[in-house]
Chains A and B, each alone.
Chain A
Amino acid sequence: MKMTGAQIFCESLKREGVDVIFGLPGGAVLPVYDALYDYVQRQELRHVLVRQEAAAGHAAEAYARVTGKVGVCLVTSGPACTNLVTALADAQIDSMPIVAFTGQVPTHLIGNDAFQEADNVGICRPCTKHNYLVKDVKELASIIKEAFYVARSGRPGPVHVDLPKDILLKQTEFAYPDKVFLRSYNPTVEGHPGQIKKAAQAILKAKKPILYVGGGVINADAAPELRELAELTQIPVTMTLMGIGAFPGDHPLNLGMLGMHGAWYTNMAVISTDLLIAVGSRFDDRVTGKLDAWCPEAEVIHIDIDPSSIAKNFHVEIPIVGDAKHVVARLNRELRQLDDGSWKESRDAWWQQIRAWKAQHPLSYEWSDAIIKPQHVIQEASRQTASLDPIVATDVGQHQMWAGQYFIVNKPRHWVTSGGLGTMGYGLPAAMGAQVARPDKLVIALLGDGSFQMNMQELSTVVEERLPLKIALVNNRAHGMVRQWQELFYNRRFVGIDLSVCPDYVRLAEAFGILGLRAERPGEVTATWERALAHPGPVLIDFVVDPEEACFPMVPAGAAVRDMVLAKPMSERPEEAKARAAKLTGF
């Protein structure tokens, strides 16, 4: 059957099982939108209109994160594509499978400085796993097939397809390929059996092993296998920011997040280990701190689908390239076969040591009766929603680290955050994408006031799509993390952090037709959360928190993990806190 390029686009997406497209139309992609009209009318495809293109990308990323499917976004040429670049870079560094379609000027105008023209393929190349410019309508179906395959296979990532307008209007016979053939792309899925055996032997021999788990475990759907591995040999599990949810947050073997804002006892356990078992994690500098001083005595097993991640930053004795699900399942089989229980005695001693560290410096913050502590806002949300397994989306900054520390996430694909790129403005569109993907779930968006102001226009999308998000602003009237760095490392020379000129967020919410709530005193936090959670529609809560609260523990950038700072050097006196609170509540 003959179809136009635009119809082939819609039909191909249907064949890939796509049900929702996050997008924003414009001149170059209007043929697609014209074809989409019929599919939307027949309810075969859903189009979610965002208010700025990066939001389409972030929503698609979050959709991918919570479903495990490929997220799709569609924007027009030139400025739309350049806006989308941030989301592509974000998906690239966090290994999120999305396919991003951009419009392009007609092929005969490419390179002519036509209206809304940019070198989309050139711009997106360094921040995508792969990208295509479609030059012939006959290639379109197979390029789309290939794009989805590349996005989801191997180490997942964003794939970009640039669609010139004339290609979308030309006609050709539609045939969707069954298979993808790429002679140069064959990701290794199964790990090397010999290496896996070696890993099993090392695990049984180790006295102080630790599992260091990243987002790769979630991408590979390997959480059950990972849990089995941990329980089998009673190994403590610590997760990166991206790995949160890969192992139950309330599990007795869980040590929480490690790295720059990891708990003291967690980081102590990591650097004292004699066997570091890294699964789907890439030894990011926010995890390792100063490399020379990290895990000095450890033998390292590294399981990763991407060979280039292995031994990139850190020495590795036992590298295993493969899909975490396959490798860990096989490792568990080996462990069962080889296990003689000889590890048990040393493991008890190891746990005793960890428990002692935990008792010495538990993860904690100083309570105040006068002013809301941001950690309290997050803990309370976690407590009240514990039985619901909510999906938590965060933005980037202090609140994100507090959420990593204090929100208990028990299941994979329930934690949505911008890890590697640290994209402010990610949280709200990501929460939208998560809620579109899982309308049955409670979705909580934890945002900083700085981050929120980067994409707050998306409240329109929230209302239009009737997404019952519970949006909590951890509002400290500052770029809090920047403030913290300037305070600790730049001698309190505060510049460019003051956000005290801001909208009244309650009235802002109301202006969008959303319920707005505010809490200003510690005593109001519980009731405000209760009210927000009981409300059937979207809610925006403005939690006015202590602007001087800093996120601790903290490993100063570039420092050794063992040199982590536990609390602010100068603690505030109660009367100072009260005076400050009095000033703030006049806000």
Chain B
Amino acid sequence: MATDASEVRRYTIALLVENRSGVLSRVSGLFSSRGYNIDSLSVGETLDPTISRMTIVVRASQPVIQQVVKQLHKLLDVIKVIDLTDEEHVSREMLLLRVGAAPGTRAEVLRIADIFRTKIVDVTPVSYTLEITGDESKIGAIIELLRPFGIQEVVRTGKVAIARGSKALSRKDQARLQQLHSAPRAVGYDD
């Protein structure tokens, strides 16, 4: 139905890309050239150092995301595109947060930190810095709870996501990737 297709929702896309300079800007350029805002994007090397994995969260309608996925496939640096949105998947984000901790409220801040199973990674006489890992709702909740104590600074990694089971990368895909990895190298690497 037309109304469903045009409905804007959040999509989580995982990408396997060549690990070389310029790739991030090619990928993000695909979104920006169409005027779509990326909610979050995180990148890191995979087990294979020539391949990086990106997790992109973007707000768009379904026809738009279909087009974006096709365009991503077209990029020479993109090896695989996985739309995790409707797959069973696990996602996490990490947050570092420095919150004011005056003598009267220190115990309360610690209690909340404990309930959320966060780590205290830095302490000063007037502040705590917490490390929190979790899905979006958990991160949102702790920020709200700590807001009254005076949050001084936050930094978030953006979402990383992986499919449950072996859905995203089938055995065939894995075998293919392994085979490709052992094949002779093309050009453009910084060895």
Contacts and interface: CB of A to CB of B under 8 A. Distances in A.
Interface of A: 121-122, 125-126, 129-130, 132-133, 135, 139, 142-143, 146, 150, 180-185, 306-308, 311-312
A126 B76 contact: no
A182 B79 CA distance: 10
Nearest to A182: B186
A181 B73 contact: no
23 contacts: A126-B29, A130-B76, A132-B188, A135-B190, A142-B186, A142-B187, A143-B187, A146-B186, A146-B188, A180-B186, A182-B186, A183-B79, A183-B183, A184-B18, A184-B75, A184-B77, A184-B79, A306-B74, A307-B70, A307-B73, A308-B67, A311-B66, A312-B67
A364 to B, nearest CB: 40
Contacts of B78: 184
B25 interface: yes
Given A125-B22, A132-B187, A181-B184, 5 more contacts: A126-B33, A143-B187, A143-B188, A182-B76, A308-B73
Contacts of A182: 76, 186
Interface in B145-191: 180, 183-188, 190
B92 interface: no
A56 to B, nearest CB: 24
A306 B79 CA distance: 17
A126 B73 CA distance: 15
Given A184-B77, A184-B79, A308-B74, A125 B26 contact: yes
Chain A binding surface SS class: mixed
Interface of B: 18, 22, 25-26, 29, 33, 66-67, 70-71, 73-79, 180, 183-188, 190
B71 to A, nearest CB: 5
Contacts of B18: 184
A347 to B, nearest CB: 34
Nearest to B30: A126
Nearest to A144: B187
Contact of B71 (A180, A184, A308): A308
Nearest to B77: A184
A180 B76 CA distance: 13
Q: Which 4 A-B pairs have the closest CB atoms?
A: A308-B70, A142-B187, A183-B180, A184-B79
A183 B180 CA distance: 7
Nearest to A139: B187
A183 B70 contact: no
Nearest to B70: A308
B182 to A, nearest CB: 11
Contacts of A133: 22
- Most A CB contacts (10 A, CB to CB) among B25, B78, B187 go to B187
A342 B191 CA distance: 64
Contacts of B187: 132, 139, 142-143, 146
